[in-house]
Amino acid sequence: MPPIINVKTDSRIEMVDITAAVRKELSRSGITDGTCVVYVPHTTSGITINEGADPAVCRDILMKLNDLVPANAGYLHMEGNADSHIKASLMGSSVTVLVEEGRLVLGTWQKIFFCEFDGPRSRKAFVSIR
Ligand code: ZN
């Protein structure tokens, strides 16, 4: 089992900055150069990298996702959370970040966000650093 980051979400739809937790796993790994993959093993949550400096960016992303994929739109999926599945696929289930000299190679404003689309729940993300 790869290292796991546990994520507790508080809302149905939410973006949680997990960059610090990923950095902790990187430092624990002792690996200084390579790639870090963060993978979300859920069908109604995703992961993305975007701006973490202005929280309005995440709010805008979530607002636009809700516009594009409304909660009720005549979906066939019986569980009632079709919009959550669609939003999860739009964000994707993994990100890859380069590792150099023991650091994640992220742009100045970039953060790694766990994206909840059917919360609140206890979630996890796997981290693989090679
Ligand atoms: Zn479902």
How many separate domains does the chain show?
Answer: 1
30 C-alpha vs ligand 1 centroid, how far in Å? Answer: 38
Range(s) of the domain holding residue 64: 4-129
86 C-alpha vs ligand 1 centroid, how far in Å? Answer: 10
In this structure, what are the phi and psi dihedrals at residue 94, rounded to the nearest 5 degrees?
Answer: -155, 155
User: Which residues sit opposite 27 in a β-bridge?
Assistant: none
81 C-alpha vs ligand 1 centroid, how far in Å? Answer: 5
pLDDT for 2 equals 87
Is-above-0.85 flag for pTM? yes
Q: Which residues surround ligand 1, an ion (CB under 5 A)?
A: 79, 81
Say which CATH number the domain at 20 has: 2.60.120.460
116 C-alpha vs ligand 1 centroid, how far in Å? Answer: 13
pLDDT in single tens digits along all 130 residues of the chain: 889 999 999 999 999 999 999 999 999 999 999 999 999 999 999 999 999 999 999 999 999 999 999 999 999 999 999 999 999 999 999 999 999 999 999 999 999 999 999 999 999 999 999 9
